[in-house]
Structure 1
Amino acid sequence: MGGVTRRPVAQDQGRAVDPGSAGPETWPTGRLLSMAARRVERSWDAYLEQWSLTHATLPVLAVLSAGPRSQREVARALKVTEQTTSRMLVGLEQVGYLRREPHAADRRRHVVALTDAGLAALRAIDDPTVLERMVSASLTADQVGELRAMLLTIIDAERAPGGQGGEADGQRAGV
């Protein structure tokens, strides 16, 4: 038999893994978490499409739900450029979720305001039951509780002083 010999190139809990046959059960934790996050994000994106929204435009509605803002204020709140904000505002205006109005004190300026349709979309989207089902449909209630606890532990570690979650930390954790 003169075929190519495959040699293990990865380790999974001390045993060699053949990269050609390795399934998700052999992946590092970080890769599993990333794959799960992408699955949830695809579900979230499909859900938002019902309202002609994306994960990027939804926060615009949330910012404007507090009241009319200038484009600059919206950009600052979202921590994006005014140019990026402008593109999002155009799309949201086209679907009827916001309108531009003259500024009350300065007629040369405009403010962006949420319409009734935009507020209705924001309220409809924010259904915790639907959102939770996207993540936990294949899990038991106990598993959801365990997952939430573990995710909070990961998030809290990032917030702790010195908890930058750098490469060395990831390597120690096996991600």
Structure 2
Amino acid sequence: MAKKKDEKTNVMRILDQKKIPYTPHFYEEEEGPEGTRDYGVHVAQALGQDPKRAFKTLAAKGASGAYHVFDIPATDSLDLKKAAKAAGEKSIDLLPVKDITAVTGYIRGGCSPVGMKKQYPTIFHQTALEFETIYVSAGKIGAQVEVEPRALLGLLRAETADIVV
């Protein structure tokens, strides 16, 4: 089934409402390579993006029971020890796939830091600020938004840290 190029997602509506400029990007939904690291790179390549500017969103739960969101370049892997330290947790674990939708409201592969069920503490890898624009999921598989990182971090009240391996 072909994707409508002008179809707005909730992420896009929120960015519109907050007057944060973005550029939507759509790609054909297809099975990417197994694993989130390879899938993120696959999506970036499908859109002709630099995978270092394409950020994947990962949800995690700390030892305290609090949820946290981490956004890292598609080419990288989250360092759980660095992530725990940045989040002020003793330890942190990624959410099991079966829990992602219940906690975030999104499905695996379509998780965005914008518009989750609740606003969880969010940390972007520090390289986000090195780019004029970055790409994050638009809240569904097949759609991404390109946005100025400082505007996005401001909206999310997000921080930056070195959180990758």
What band does the TM-score fall into relative to the shorter chain?
A: under 0.3
The TM-score, its normalising length taken from structure 2, stands at 0.21
Structure in which a larger fraction of residues adopt strand: 2
The TM-score, its normalising length taken from structure 1, stands at 0.20
Bigger relative contact order, structure 1 or 2 (CA pairs below 8 A, ≥6 apart): 2
Structure of higher CA gyration radius = 1
